[in-house]
Amino acid sequence: MSDEKLRLEDLLDGVAKNEDSDRIETVAIIGAGVMGQGIAHTVAAAGLDVIIIEKGEKHLEAAKNTIAAGMDREIARWAMTGSEKKSILSRIKWSLEIESVKDADLIIEAVEENIETKKSIFKTLDKLAQPDTIFISNTSTLSLTKISEVTERSDKIIGMHFHNPVPKVALVELVRALDTSDDTVEKMKQFASKIKKTAVEVYEYPGFVTTRAIVPLLNEAMYILLEGVATAQDIDTAMKLGYNFQQGPLEMADSMGLDEVLAWMEGLWQTLGEPRYRPCPILRKLVRERKLGRKTGEGFFKYDSDGKMIK
């Protein structure tokens, strides 16, 4: 009887150890841009510790100020309390050292949409992170299978395509690469639930679901503007009232960042070769002029320092 009891206790101890090893308590985020900030806010609000890693002090300080200012606006609208802000910010640590990922249970990459940049980062992370750590990419168009090829953990590479503003959009696309394991998918479904997101599982394909579906709409609205059919304001009003959109397509593009939208279009145009993804010239012009939308104060519309549209 005592031997049986010992074996049962050993079994239960083993289960407890496995549960501890799967527990996610610290999340490292590579990149402190708009998406990185939003992901950090969301993860910290769920009670997890966050380490944001950036390449330069200037970028890091700008991100700190932006995320704090965004929370202040939420407080002003009675959507957040001062104590909630303090609690969230207390869970976020800021670093310039890529080696900080050694302490992370999960790593999320949220840098620019450039496959060579992402591959370089994943190759470095693979050498620094613990062997069982799962790597997530927030890519919206790029091949996760190609990115995973530079690592020794292709079964632990997965995409989580968050949408801006991350704290407010309930959806996340969970993107399975060629070698992503079922275990990795299941763990990331649980993580998505933990941070209060609804995960939609998709297989790797350029643009996945949401980017592939929204890009032609944005592009067509831009061509309508270019052809002088209607003003930017009237185009957005027509779509909001006619189809019950919360934002019109041009304001939506501004909120996404016109440089990001252009990168998506170019990626889909080059990969799929279909005319509906060919970027409208007016979009290229705005990006050349660094009029990137809400984040720079001007795109198809103009915005004040709080990001509100100036009418």
Answer yes or no: do 83 and 181 share one domain: yes
113-152 pLDDT, tens digit per residue, is: 889 999 999 999 999 999 999 999 998 888 899 999 999 9
Is 5 among the domain residues? no
**Do 292 and 222 share a structural domain?**
yes
Maximum C-alpha span of the chain: 86
Indicate whether 3 belongs to any domain: no
**What domain range is 246 assigned to?**
210-310
- Given 150, 185, 203, which residue is the final one in a domain? 203
In the listed set 146, 176, 203, which residue is the last one of a domain according to the structure? 203
Residue 248 belongs to a domain with what CATH number?
1.10.1040.10
- Cα–Cα distance, 294 to 258 (Å, whole number): 9
* 290 within some domain: yes
User: Rounded CA gap, 267 and 125, in Å?
Assistant: 25
pLDDT given for residue 111 in this prediction: 93
> What is d(CA 298, CA 303) in angstroms, rounded to the nearest whole number?
6
> Same structural domain for residues 196 and 249?
no
Q: What pLDDT digit, counting tens, does each position of 230-248 carry? A: 999 999 999 999 999 999 9
Q: Is residue 58 part of a domain?
A: yes
Q: Do 291 and 216 belong to one domain?
A: yes
The last residue of one of the domains, among 179, 203, 227, is: 203
Kindly give the parts of the chain with pLDDT less than 70.
1-22
Is residue 116, in this structure, part of any structural domain at all?
A: yes
Same domain for 38 and 154, yes or no, is: yes
At 207, the amino acid letter reads G
Looking at the structure, do residues 221 and 182 belong to the same domain, yes or no?
Answer: no
Give domain status of residue 63, yes or no: yes
Query: Residue 95: which CATH number?
Result: 3.40.50.720
Q: Answer yes or no: do 303 and 162 share one domain.
A: no
**Same domain, residue pair 165 and 195:** yes
Judgement on whether residues 151 and 166 belong to the same structural domain of the protein: yes
Domain contains 1: no
Note the pTM of the prediction, 2 decimals: 0.85
Work out how many domains the chain is built from and give that number.
2
The residues, any chain, with a CB within 8 Å of residue 262's CB and separated by 6 or more, are 279, 283, 284, 287
Asked, for residue 38, whether it belongs to a domain, the answer is yes
Contact call for residues 240 and 286 (beta carbons, < 8 A): no
Residues in the chain: 311
Q: What is the pLDDT of residue 23?
A: 83
Q: Is 145 found in the same domain as 86? A: yes
168, 227: one domain: no
- Considering the domain architecture, whether residues 153 and 300 belong to the same structural domain is answered as no
